[in-house]
Structure 1
């Protein structure tokens, strides 16, 4: 009998932004953000993913200093009351560095450490993202994104989306390791909804076992994504996509992903608990 995959960890989302696609800036206020973080911990989140810059399609970039001002006080406040794992959702090495100093232990990078270093007026360059990740020594999540948030949904095209995303992620993992990031600290994320059509997203979801077989922990971020609305016209609003989100999470769990990124933490934890109990019963394991 084939063993059931281990239950994935649940990564709860706290967007400290005024323009998130999923919550419309509900947690932009620092007090509201901390309340939400505490709520997600109580609901069973294993990781909190803190973001200070929206990466929704068409999003406008935020200066690093402003992003740091949004996320660092929240990370410090969470760390003061909880030892929950904290990830920083950022493309910028400076933000990652400040977040780790405040208590984050995971860098969740939608750009897969491709943020280009700038050259100062004195001719010196900032350290590149892979080198910063190696210096920080934290876990790093490398995500595939075609283009950048502002343009990624402008007619994305692939010859073979699964093969191209796989090749990209393996190349970025090699780049990270060449810079000194330990292999054991690298995660992969196929980037559902980041420069993909609904058909691309479904192909990547179907291919999750292939990504898991690469030997790196895989993060699945399908929560409230727009492709769900293309399958269910009543899911036009992000908050109306819970059923589709849970279906994707359970599919990811069966494929062996290491974590699912979720807006609806309580419902996701419950769904995974039932999934795990059913799988355990099928294999004759006692219910916990």
Structure 2
């Protein structure tokens, strides 16, 4: 427990400035790029695939290309789509011409390439849309996780997914969602009052969704419903991401994906729910910007 607490504190000390301070955008991208590299190795180790070094290098390059595509997509429109199509073509070609890229491994390759890259890239993209969305995301995922555990211990009677994660209960999941959504929604709805200064809120936004699409024209009640709805979807998405990671670990009989974070496991152990939730939140915000 002590080791887990110390590691968590160090991670917060490193990540909070990177996520909040605008001038640290490039170091943040580099750190998460390293996270993509480590995450790829964690999945390859989980799958226990003895790929040749050159094949591992190709998988790594394709994953980093996907990561670069999504974080640069705001600056170069459609870049992510172009890179994705090229990557798929490359993987299909490799499945024909390289022995260790057999057709049976196509799904594994695609999963490795997109799961980590999209998760890490979505987090970076949220930061570029607005730091407030990173805060909103982590409020939801962390509070959902903490209170799902606490409520589950106290009131949990009905197992949520006994074959995947025996300790998780429906009572915990619902309780965690309600508490996390309530706190995150208050932050989102009262954003302008919580952070009223020009330094913390330079655009003078009233809610976190002001400035997106045509949402600024909607009244406060309408915006409140939208924020609450988004928070619910993100909370559920984060829990699904956690269950997906648990399912993978159970299927491949491993306790953790890695051990880079003592007491917490690997990159995917620590960011499984955040990666999944960030993809969902980023998709929602992109859709809102289109309407």
Which protein is richer in helix relative to its size? 2
Whether the TM-score (by the shorter chain) exceeds 0.5 is no
User: In terms of Rg, which structure is larger?
Assistant: 2
Which protein is richer in strand relative to its size? 1
